[in-house]
Amino acid sequence: MKIFDEISRREHEQVVFCSDQKVGLRAIIAVHNTTLGPALGGTRMWTYATEDDALQDVLRLSRAMTYKASIAGLNLGGGKAVIIGDAAKDKTEGLFRTYGRFVETLGGRFITSADVGTEVRDLEWIRMETRHVTGVSPALGGSGDPSIVTGFGVYMGMKACAHEAFGSDSLKGRKIAVQGAGKVATYLCKHLAEEGAELYVTDIDEEKAKTSAKRFSGRYVQPEKILELETDIVAPCALGGILNDETIPKLKCKIVAGGANNQLLDETRHSRMLAERNILYAPDYAINSGGLMSVGNELTGGGEQRALKQAEGIYDILLRIFATSKSEKIPTSAAANKLAEQRIQSLGRIKHIFSNGSNGAAHAHETSKRV
């Protein structure tokens, strides 16, 4: 891979490779854009097949975080990190504390939190070496598990999708296929079940999926069949790339709205494919931005209730995206990108005004000559 070409193509500011053989650490931190504020994004731990795969993943994910923060109205930039390793057997205190030291060297340009393969305990190890971490346990002054807010936000976004597609945001009696039975999917299913939706649940962990289906009075479906069900809504809540040339033609739903990141394998082509099939797509970084709202509130002193209130606004965010999509005659993913980029460009102009940093007073740039 031509690394600098990949970095430039997505307009990343900085990519850091972290290595310590003694603790088995191999990590990549990607800072995409800090126009709106410090880059905030989770640290993912995954058994990537190749180092190129890990780099591609962290570049895609960090770029999405920039757009997620912008569309959510947060004063944060976009970043992400990946640790190459097996989350089930490779975790140690030494590994995460060493990684925390690398995060500290960035001086606050990158702030991390939990992601796939990492959890609150891991963040507490990281926090021993850097203050630039969010999502730690409430006992340590943190906001706790952001999945609670993410799941609620996806639920609110799904209701906005129903309003757009069906003329009513009620999900009672709607057939909804949930792909994944992790934390976000579980919180989402809880809200859907309480409203009376008819749930179909799957996961590569069959036992976990069956437990979730039973808990929420749903039905277990084998992973390879979940996207082919005749349903109202499909909710991808596992790993990315699930919407592609092979799967999109099999969809028998009106809406795709879920909590997974990078659901479109190819953003441009596959968003168009969905639009051509009249399937309403909720851009993933918009509908799943509740988790970022949660950890972002930890930085500003807000609590879970404030984050949940912000997550309610995902309903209106999606309606704006849909309105832009219709008026501009572009796919919903392109509409979301346009709205996110407009905010970045607009607020980026503030950077042209000099602030002395001590009292917040702003001054126009000028050149003076003193004799």
At which residue do the structure tokens 């219709």 appear? Answer: 326
CA angle (239 as vertex; 86, 144 as ends), nearest 5: 75
CA distance 371 to 366: 16
Check: CB of residue 193 under 8 Å from CB of residue 212. no
Which residues does residue 14 pair with via DSSP β-bridges, in sequence order? 31
CA dist., res. 64 & res. 362, Å (int): 31
Q: Can you give the length of the chain in residues? A: 371
Number of C-beta neighbours around residue 153 at 10 A: 34
Contact of 76 with 37, CB cutoff 8 Å: yes
> CB of 52 within 8 A of CB of 97?
no
Q: What is the DSSP letter of 349?
A: G
Phi, psi (rounded to 5 degrees) for 264 = -85, 120
In Å, how far are 95, 105, 131, 292 from 22, measured between CA atoms?
A: 9, 19, 24, 33
Question: With b meaning 16 or more CB within 10 Å and e meaning fewer, what string describes 31-53?
Answer: bbbbbbbbbbbbbbbbebeeeee
Looking at the annotation, which residues are catalytic?
A: 80
63 neighbors 56 (Cβ within 8 angstroms)? no
Give dist(CA 351, CA 365) in Å, integer.
Answer: 11
Cα–Cα dist 172/87, whole Å? 37
Rounded CA-CA distance 218/176 in Å is 10
The candidate with the shortest Cα–Cα distance to 236, out of 285, 297, 296, is 285
Backbone angles phi, psi at 234, to 5 degrees: -110, 130
